Amino acid sequence: MNYLELFILSLVQGVAEWLPVSSEGLSMFIMLNALHKEPSQALSYAVFFHIGTMLAVLFRFRKEFIEMLNPNSKLLKIVAVSTIFTAFTAIPLLSLIKGFKSGELVTLLIGAMLILTGVLLRMPKEGYRNLEELKLKDMVMLGLAQGFAILPGISRSGTTISLLLLRRVREEHALKVSFIISVPAV
């Protein structure tokens, strides 16, 4: 991959990650259809680009990460439980999509998952709960939902924020938690 391609893909990742769209799906779509990469190679690059996002999240939420050094932190519990359950869905799905040999099949999957993300984002939501009110069930559901975002075209942030809002979590808390739980998942 040349420097121009890396720059373009980094720009796509940097902008799309903060929006409720699939940055991984967009990156893979570009790599498969414009750069003609193999599906497994495109997936590897797309996952690699999330390292920059992780560093940005660590910097932006550094105060919250420092607070999580307290073993009694509710946010630490949310991150730990959701990370465990993310692995339950993400690892098998990652193995499945790494086996795809056809770029057309992956492109079709990306399209279908983008539509699913759009449907999730359009569902009515109204929150009133704060982080302290999250139950174990909420954390498990959050982790499982985040794991599905390994599928190209599913927006990780869109899915996790939508789930939290559907679980009646306040919008500002849903945004914060969504980005913080992304760090161990990367």
- Report pTM: 0.81
Three-state DSSP at 181 gives coil
Percent above pLDDT 90 for the chain: 39
Quote the CA–CA distance of 101 and 167 in Å, as a whole number. Answer: 38
Round to whole Å and give the CA distance between 151 and 75: 26
Name beta bridge partners: 169. Answer: 129
pLDDT of residue 143: 97
Kindly list the domain boundaries of the chain, sorted by start residue: 3-185
The identity of residue 92, as a single letter, is P
Q: How far apart are CA 110 and CA 176, in angstroms?
A: 26
**59-85 pLDDT tens trace:** 999 999 999 999 999 999 999 999 999
**pLDDT attached to residue 75:** 97
